[in-house]
Amino acid sequence: MQWYVDSRIGDDANDGRGPKTAFKTVQHAIHVAKAGDTVLITPGAYDQSLPKQISVLRAANVVVAVLGGH
């Protein structure tokens, strides 16, 4: 399963399954993602714990990618 996170237009009430229905926070993605899933994060303003949150996801065998990253 792929989960999308977008701090600009996302909403944690969304289903997180596409760019237009992305979650707002990585924390919410942590709650729904399972081993083998992928969390796609769009560039934006995230809180300072983002590196820790990504580490939590990776420790749970969740793939994390930043969309449009350079």
- 33: CATH: 3.30.1910.20
pLDDT of residue 69: 59
Spans of the chain below 70 pLDDT:
69-70
Domain range for 55: 2-66
Structure-block tokens of residue 39: 């969390």
Q: Which residues, 6+ apart, have CB-to-CB distance to 65 below 8 Å?
A: 38, 39, 40, 41
For 10-30, how does the pLDDT look when each residue is reduced to its tens digit (9 = 90+)? 999 999 999 999 999 999 999
Q: Tell me the whole-structure pTM to 2 decimals.
A: 0.92
Percentages (nearest 5) of helix, strand, coil residues in the chain: 30, 20, 55
